Amino acid sequence: MKCLSDYLWQTLVPLIFFSFVWVLYRFIEKEAEVEQVKKEHAEMELKFLKSQINPHVLFNNLNTIYSYAIEKPSETPELILMLSDNLKHVLYESNAKTISLEKELQFLDNYIKFQRIRTEGVKQIFYKTEVHSKNQKIAPLLLITIIENAFKHSTLNSDISISIIENEGVLECICSNDYNKEKVSSTDFKIGLQNLEKRLKLIYKDNYTFNITKAEQFVLTLKLDLK
């Protein structure tokens, strides 16, 4: 009996140990598969959300160039060069997870120039940027949603104020505009901002604050920790 007991003990202990190791390995492997699926799903969702942004921005710029080609043909070449820069940014540079803040602001500068032309005599634009560190990086095509929302939903003969300030790795974007209070609850009004918030959650998680204030003006405030 003692020999049998010793034999069972010597046999069962390694068997139990290796069974435990195998179960643990399978668990870790399964967890890795789940994390990979989550990562791929997040990347696909980000690509989908960005694909909804790109065409809308570019079509607006094309419409502006078309009108200038008719009314002011001598100034059209400069606009085409600006559109070329924006196309390069959207088609190539925005595929990266992050890009330099300097490049993103250049893209926004071009967009604002187009909007100044499109809304001349109809809307007054106050645009200010202040960057203390040129080495900061940001997820591409985030801020354009906030700015585009202001132009799309602001009322005629109104002011649009845009402020983008980076200091010690913290970026704050504040955009305010007059708005039609009857349309503020429409699906069209909400969808762009909902997409933006989804991207912020996927990319920055707890490192951002995003607030909407609806009073006399519609005010969007985004604060990002870029570090």
The residues near 149 (Cβ < 8 Å, ≥ 6 apart) are: 175, 192, 193, 220
Q: Tell me, what's the pLDDT at 37?
A: 45
What's the predicted TM-score (pTM) here? 0.72
Q: What are phi and psi of 157, to 5 degrees?
A: 55, 50
Could you tell me how many residues make up the chain?
227
Q: Round to whole Å and give the CA distance between 163 and 110.
A: 15
CA quadruple 147, 124, 105, 60: dihedral, nearest 10: 60
State the number of CA atoms in the 13 A half-sphere of 29 facing the CB.
Answer: 6
The answer regarding whether domain 2-225 maps to CATH 3.30.565.10 reads: yes
Question: Each residue of 203-226: b (16+ CB within 10 Å) or e?
Answer: bbeeebebeeeeeebbbbbbebeb
Round to whole Å and give the CA distance between 97 and 194: 20
Write out pLDDT tens, residues 43-102.
555 555 555 555 666 777 788 888 888 888 888 888 888 888 887 887 777 778 899 999
Summarised one tens digit per residue, pLDDT across range 162-204 is: 999 999 999 999 999 988 777 665 555 567 788 888 889 888 9
